[in-house]
Structure 1
Amino acid sequence: MRVAFVGKGGSGKTTLSALFSRYVAGRGAPVVAVDADINQHLGMILGVEEPDLPPPMGGHLTEIKDYLRGDNPRIPSAEVMVKTTPPGRGSRLLTLGERTDPLHRRFAVPTPEGPELMVTGPFEESDLGVACYHSKVGAVELYLNHLVDGAGEYVVVDMTAGADSFASGLFTRFDMTYLVAEPTRQGVSVYRQYRDYASEFGVRIAVVGNKVHGEQDVAFLRDHVGDDLLTWFEHSAAVRALEQGRPFALDDLEPANLDALGVLLKQLDGCEKDWRRFGEQAIEFHLRNAAAWANRATGTDLAAQIDPEFVFGPAALAEPTPYASVAPRPMEGGGSPL
C-alpha cells in the first residue's frame, strides 16, 4: 500500500510521516519511507545522520531511468524517458519483499527504527534559478509507476507542502492521502484545494488533525472538514522531544496519539487497491505531459511509449505474463516539465 502525507508547510506532515513509518515497521511490515519534500528532514527525524543519507534519487535520474526501462523496445534510451513514462513489456518492475534489486540497494538505507529511507535530495547550487523541484520529485513518480506492492507492504511518502504535488500525476499514485491540518484557518485552507483538485480523479483523502489542544480544536476541524476528519494528534511533549533530537521511543507517545497511528494504519489497510485505475491514470497523465511539453522536449511522440498489452499490478510479475489491455484516453494538454 502507498500513502502520502501532505499539508501546509509547518503542519507536521514530516513528523507524522516518520511516526507512521516507525509504527508500521514496528509491526514487522516492510516499509520504505520516501522524503519527497523540498525541505529534506525525514531522514533526520528517522535517526539518519546526514553523512549516512542515501544518494538522492533526484540527482541520478538518468541512472534510474536506464535501470527501469530495461529492454522495453518502446523506450530506446533514458533521454526519451520522462517522469510519467509508464512501464511496459520489458521494463524492470520493483517489489518491496526482499528489496534486493539494484535500485533499492543503491537508493535506500535502513534507519534505526526499521523503515528504509529514500530521498529525492535538496536543491543543488546548479539548480538554483534554473530548475523547479519537480525535477527531483519526478524520480518518485517513476519509482511508484514501476512498483508492484502487495498486501502488508508499505511506501510512505512525505510530500512537498501545499498543493504543489498537483503539478504532476504523482498525487494519483497512492492508495490513501493523509492531509495533515492544524486547527487554524490556514491549516484547513490546503484541505479545500486538495479536496477540489483530487475529487475529479477519485483520490482518497482523509484529514488528520495535528497539534490539537482540546475539544474546541477538534470542533473547529469538524466544522471545516466534516466527515473527512479521520483522527487527530494531541499536542505532544514526546513529539517535541523527538523534534529536538532527544531520546524517543514510540511507547513514549501519549496513549491517544499512539491510538491515532493505529487508526491511520487501519484506514490504509482497508483501502482496496485498484490496479486498473492506477494504469489508466498513469497513461492519462503521460499523454497529458507528452502533449504539453515532453514531445517537444524529446523530439519524439511519447504516446508510442504506451504498451497497450501491458497490465499493471501483480500479473505483470508472472511468467509468462498474462497481459491485458489498458486503452489510452485522449487528453488535452497540461502539466509541468521534468
Structure 2
Amino acid sequence: MRVAFVGKGGSGKTTLSALFSRHLARSGAPVLAVDGDINQHLAEALAPDDDRPFTAPALGPHLGDIKDYLRGTNPRIPSREAMVKTTPPGRGSRLLRLLGDDELHARHVGHAGGVPLMVTGEFDESDLGVACYHSKLGAVELYLGHLVDGPGEYVVVDMTAGADAFASGLFTRFDLTFLVAEPTRKGVSVYRQYRDHAREFGVRIAVVGNKVTCEDDLLFLKEQVGDDLLTHLVHSDWVRAAERGRPRGELESHNRHALDVLREAVDAHPRDWDRLHRHAVEFHLRNARAWANEATGRDLADQVDPDFAPGPSALS
C-alpha cells in the first residue's frame, strides 16, 4: 500500500510520516519511507537521537541512471532522453518489488531509526534559478510507476508542503493520502485545496488532526473538515523532546492508538491497479502535450503500451 502525508508547512507531516513509518516497521511489516519534501528532514525525524548523516545516494542526481535501469528493453523507450518522469511502464520495462534484490534498491536505500529510507535530495545552490524541485521528484514518480508492491507492504512518502503536491501527477500514485491539519484556519486551508483536486481524480484522502490540545481544538477540526477527519494526535511531549534530539520513554498512548487507526484505514483500501495505471497514462499524455513532446522531439503518446497489464501479473 502506498501512503502520502501532505499538509501545510509546519503542520507536522514529516513528524507523522516518521511516526507512522516507525510504527509499521516495529510491527514487522515491510516498509519503505521516502523523503519527497524540498526540506529533507525525514531521516532526522526517523532517528532523532542519531547525529550521523544519512549517506545513501539521493535519487534526484541519479535520475538518468534510474531511467536507464527502469526502461529495460522496452522498445517504446529507446533512450533515457526519451523517457520523462511520467513515462508509464510497458512490456520490457523493469518492474520492482518492494525492497527487492535489484540495483536501484541496493544503491539508494539506507536506514534511519531502523526504517529503510530513500531520499530525493536537497534543492541545492546549483538548482537556484534554473531548476524546479519537482524535477527531482520525477525519480519518485518513476519509482512508484514501476513498483509492484503486494498486500501488507507499505511505502510512506513525505510530500512537499501545501498545494505544491499538485505540480505533478505524483499525487495520484497513492492508495490513501493523509492530510495533516492543525486546528487553525491556516491549518485547514490546504485541506480545502487538496479535497477539491483529489475529488476530481478520485484520490482518497483522510484528515489527521495534529497538535490538538483541548476539546475546542477537536471541535474546530470537526466543524471544518467534517467526516474527512479520521483521527487526531494530541500535543506530544515525546515529539517535542525528540525534536530536540532527546527522546524519552514512549509516544503517548493516545497517539499510538491514532497510528493504529491510520494503519487500519490504509489496510481497508485495497489496491486498484487499473485506476493507478489509468491515472499514470492520463498524466503522461497531459505532460506530453504540454511540454514533453517538444522537449524530446517525439510523440510520447507512443510510449503508452495498450497491451500492458498493470499489477502482479506483469511480473511474469
The alignment's TM-score, normalised by the length of structure 2, stands at 0.97
Give yes or no for contact 1:182–1:188 (8 Å, CA) kept in 2. Answer: yes
Cα distance change of structure 1 residues 4 and 248 upon mapping to structure 2, 3 Å threshold = farther
Query: In the alignment, is residue 123 of structure 1 matched against residue 123 of structure 2?
Result: yes
| Residue of structure 1 in register with 2:14 after alignment | 14
Q: Give matches, 1:80-159, under 5 Å.
A: 80-96=82-98, 99-113=100-114, 115-159=115-159
Give unmatched runs, 5+ long, in structure 2: none
Secondary structure of the residue that 2:206 maps to in structure 1?
A: strand
CA distance in 2, matches of 1:281, 1:126: 33
| Residue of structure 2 in register with 1:313 after alignment | 311
Per-residue deviation, 1:49: 4.7
Secondary structure of the residue that 2:68 maps to in structure 1?
A: helix
Please, which of 288, 305, 309 is the counterpart of residue 290 of structure 1?
288
The amino acid that maps onto 2:236 is S
The amino acid that maps onto 1:108 is V
Q: How many residues align?
A: 314
Query: Any idea what the Cα deviations from partners look like across 1:165-187, whole Å, max 9, x if unmatched?
Result: 11111000000000000000000
| Residue of structure 2 in register with 1:278 after alignment | 276
Q: Give matches, 1:14-93, under 5 Å.
A: 14-47=14-47, 49=51, 51-93=53-95
The amino acid that maps onto 2:88 is P
Per-residue deviation, 1:125: 1.7
Per-residue deviation, 1:263: 0.2
Per-residue deviation, 1:51: 3.4
Secondary structure of the residue that 1:19 maps to in structure 2?
A: helix
The alignment's TM-score, normalised by the length of structure 1, stands at 0.91
| Residue of structure 1 in register with 2:213 after alignment | 213
Give yes or no for contact 1:169–1:282 (8 Å, CA) kept in 2. Answer: yes
Deviating more after overlay: 98-107 vs 267-276: 98-107
Secondary structure of the residue that 2:53 maps to in structure 1?
A: helix
| Residue of structure 1 in register with 2:186 after alignment | 186
Query: In the alignment, is residue 225 of structure 1 matched against residue 235 of structure 2?
Result: no
Per-residue deviation, 1:57: 0.5
Per-residue deviation, 1:248: 4.6
| Residue of structure 2 in register with 1:304 after alignment | 302
Per-residue deviation, 1:242: 1.2
CA distance in 2, matches of 1:15, 1:281: 29
CA distance in 2, matches of 1:51, 1:298: 37
Secondary structure of the residue that 1:149 maps to in structure 2?
A: coil
Q: Percent identity?
A: 69
Query: Any idea what the Cα deviations from partners look like across 1:194-219, whole Å, max 9, x if unmatched?
Result: 00011011100000000000111000
CA distance in 2, matches of 1:211, 1:2: 25
Query: Any idea what the Cα deviations from partners look like across 1:92-113, whole Å, max 9, x if unmatched?
Result: 00111x5211001101112233
| Residue of structure 2 in register with 1:256 after alignment | 254
Give yes or no for contact 1:11–1:180 (8 Å, CA) kept in 2. Answer: yes
Give yes or no for contact 2:31–2:154 (8 Å, CA) kept in 1. Answer: yes
The amino acid that maps onto 1:197 is H
Give yes or no for contact 1:57–1:139 (8 Å, CA) kept in 2. Answer: yes
Give yes or no for contact 1:44–1:50 (8 Å, CA) kept in 2. Answer: no
Give yes or no for contact 2:35–2:119 (8 Å, CA) kept in 1. Answer: yes
CA distance in 2, matches of 1:237, 1:49: 21
The amino acid that maps onto 2:195 is R
Per-residue deviation, 1:50: 5.6
CA distance in 2, matches of 1:60, 1:150: 26
Deviating more after overlay: 157-166 vs 98-107: 98-107
- Asked which structure has the greater RCO (Cα within 8 Å, sep 6+), the reply is 2
CA distance in 1, matches of 2:101, 2:295: 34
CA distance in 2, matches of 1:44, 1:20: 14
